[in-house]
Amino acid sequence: MTEFVFAPATKEQAKARVALAGPSGSGKTYTALTLASHFAERFAVIDTERGSASKYADEFNFDTLRMTKFDPRDLIQALAAAQAGGYGCTVVDSMSHFWMGAGGMLELVDAAAKRSAGGNSFGGWKEARPHERRMIDALLAYDGHVIVTMRTKTEYVVEEDARGKKVPRKVGLKPEQRDGIEYEFDIVGDLDLENTLVVTKSRCRALSGAVINRPGQDLAEQVLAWLGDGKPAPAGAVELRARILAEGVTAEALRGIYGDASNRNLLNAAVVDADGTATTLRELLIVAGNAARVREAGEAL
C-alpha cells in the first residue's frame, strides 16, 4: 500500500507569521511591538538593533534579548530560550542581521568558500545553506506568534511636489535578506517613511493588497480573527516536547511522536532539553529514543 494518501483539507487555527520590511525611519520596530502587544499578553524581542526596541519600553511591556553576533544557529538557540520562557509572541528585530551582519549568512558563506579548494563560492553556499534552512524552520515551527522586521536598501528618487517643485524622497527597495524570503511568511508588508503599510503578500484574503496608515490594533485583531477561524490545531512544539520528556516514555511512543512532528514540519522546532540546553525536537527525539531502547532492553533481560 502506498504511503502517499490524500485526505480532505481542513483549515486549522494557527499562529501569526508576519514580516515587516522598510527603510530606516519607517517604524518597523514600533509597528512590530504594537502588533505583538495585541497578539499575546507576554512577548519577547530578539534585538539585533543595539537596543532600539527598548526605547519603547515605556509604552510596551516586553522582555528582550540583545544579540551582537548573528550566526543563524544562534537565532535557533534564542528561539529555544523564548519557547522555554513561554512567550506567546516573539519579535526578531531585525532578521536582516542574520543575513548580512557579523557572523551572518554572507560571512558564513565567505568563510566556507575560503576553506574550500580554490575559494569556490558554490561550496561556501552548499556548506552554509543548511544552517539558514534550519533557522527558518525554527522560526516557522515556533509555538507562538512570530513577527520579523527586515531592513530594505534605500535610494532617493526625485519627485514633483504639489507646487511643482522637484524634491528628493527616500524609498525602500529590496529587503536585505535572501531572495524569496517572503514566501516563508503568511503576511508580508512594506512600510514607508509615513508609516504606511502596503501588504505585498497575504494568505489572509481580506488583507491582500491592503494599504494601512499607522497599522496597529485593528490590523492585529483582523489577523487574529483570520488565524482563529478553523478547527483546533494539533499538538505544537511545546506539547510534543513534554511528551518526549515524560517519565517512562516508550520507544514506540517516541516513534509516534516523531511521525506527528514530521507531519507538521516541527522536527526543527527550537526547544530546550531537560537540562535547559537549546536543541531541536529532532535531536531531543534521538536522545530520548536511544535512552528508551537501552532501558527497554535492560527490562527485557
Q: Express each pLDDT in 205-224 by its tens digit.
A: 999 999 999 999 999 999 99
> Looking at the structure, do residues 53 and 136 belong to the same domain, yes or no?
yes
Q: Looking at 227, 253, 288, which one is the last position of a domain? A: 227
**pLDDT of res. 12:** 93
> What domain range includes position 241?
237-300
Q: What's the pTM?
A: 0.90
SS3 158: strand
The model's pLDDT over 167-210, given as tens digits with 9 standing for 90+, comes to: 666 555 567 677 788 889 999 999 998 999 999 999 999 999 99
Neighbouring C-beta atoms of residue 44, cutoff 10 Å: 25
> Looking at the structure, do residues 265 and 165 belong to the same domain, yes or no?
no
> Looking at the structure, do residues 143 and 269 belong to the same domain, yes or no?
no
> Looking at the structure, do residues 36 and 119 belong to the same domain, yes or no?
yes
> Looking at the structure, do residues 79 and 142 belong to the same domain, yes or no?
yes
CATH value at residue 99: 3.40.50.300
The span from the CA of 67 to the CA of 54, in Å, is 13
> Looking at the structure, do residues 249 and 154 belong to the same domain, yes or no?
no
Q: Is residue 83 part of a domain?
A: yes
Q: Is residue 52 part of a domain?
A: yes
Q: Looking at 196, 227, 258, which one is the last position of a domain? A: 227
Long-range (24+ apart) CB contacts under 8 A made by 240-244 are: 240/266, 240/269, 240/281, 241/271, 241/281, 241/284, 244/281, 244/284, 244/285, 244/288
The span from the CA of 59 to the CA of 161, in Å, is 35
**pLDDT of res. 119:** 66
Q: Is residue 7 part of a domain?
A: no
> Looking at the structure, do residues 214 and 265 belong to the same domain, yes or no?
no
Confidence band, pLDDT 50/70/90 cuts, at residue 92: very high
> Looking at the structure, do residues 195 and 84 belong to the same domain, yes or no?
yes
Is pLDDT at 13 greater than 90 in this prediction?
yes
How far, rounded to the nearest angstrom, does the alpha carbon of residue 12 sit from its chain's CA centroid? 19
Q: Is residue 6 part of a domain?
A: no
> Looking at the structure, do residues 38 and 183 belong to the same domain, yes or no?
yes
How far is it between the farthest Cα atoms of the chain?
91
> Looking at the structure, do residues 241 and 205 belong to the same domain, yes or no?
no
> Looking at the structure, do residues 241 and 169 belong to the same domain, yes or no?
no
Confidence band, pLDDT 50/70/90 cuts, at residue 113: confident
State the total domains in the chain: 2
The model's pLDDT over 253-301, given as tens digits with 9 standing for 90+, comes to: 999 999 999 999 999 999 999 999 999 999 999 999 999 999 998 887 6
**pLDDT of res. 114:** 84
